[in-house]
């Protein structure tokens, strides 16, 4: 293997690594966006759950104390 062909192989490998790096950066950006969206959805669902629990608690408080006795 000549010196030039070794350099060509290294250059080719570096190019492939750079392409892979770009792909991983794009994938990471997409996953970061998905995590943010899911965190926002989770927070929204938690808020709705707390509101529903508060409504259920309020309804329970309105029940007569001696019901079923």
* pLDDT tens profile 22-48: 999 999 999 999 999 999 999 999 999
Q: Where are the domains of the chain?
A: 30-61
Alpha-carbon distance of 10 to 3, in angstroms, equals 11
pLDDT of residue 65: 84
Q: Which two tokens stand for residue 1?
A: 């293997």
**pTM of the predicted model, to two decimals?**
0.68
Alpha-carbon distance of 67 to 69, in angstroms, equals 6
Per-residue confidence band for 2, with pLDDT thresholds at 50, 70 and 90: confident
DSSP string, 3-18: HHHHHHHHHHHHHHHH
Q: Whose structure tokens read 């950066």? A: 25
């Amino acid at each position: 293997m000549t010196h030039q062909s070794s350099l060509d192989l290294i250059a080719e490998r570096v190019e492939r690594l750079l392409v892979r790096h770009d792909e991983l950066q794009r994938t990471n950006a997409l996953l970061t966006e998905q995590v943010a969206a899911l965190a926002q959805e989770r927070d929204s669902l938690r808020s709705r759950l707390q509101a529903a629990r508060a409504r259920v608690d309020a309804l329970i408080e309105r029940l007569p104390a001696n019901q079923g006795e």
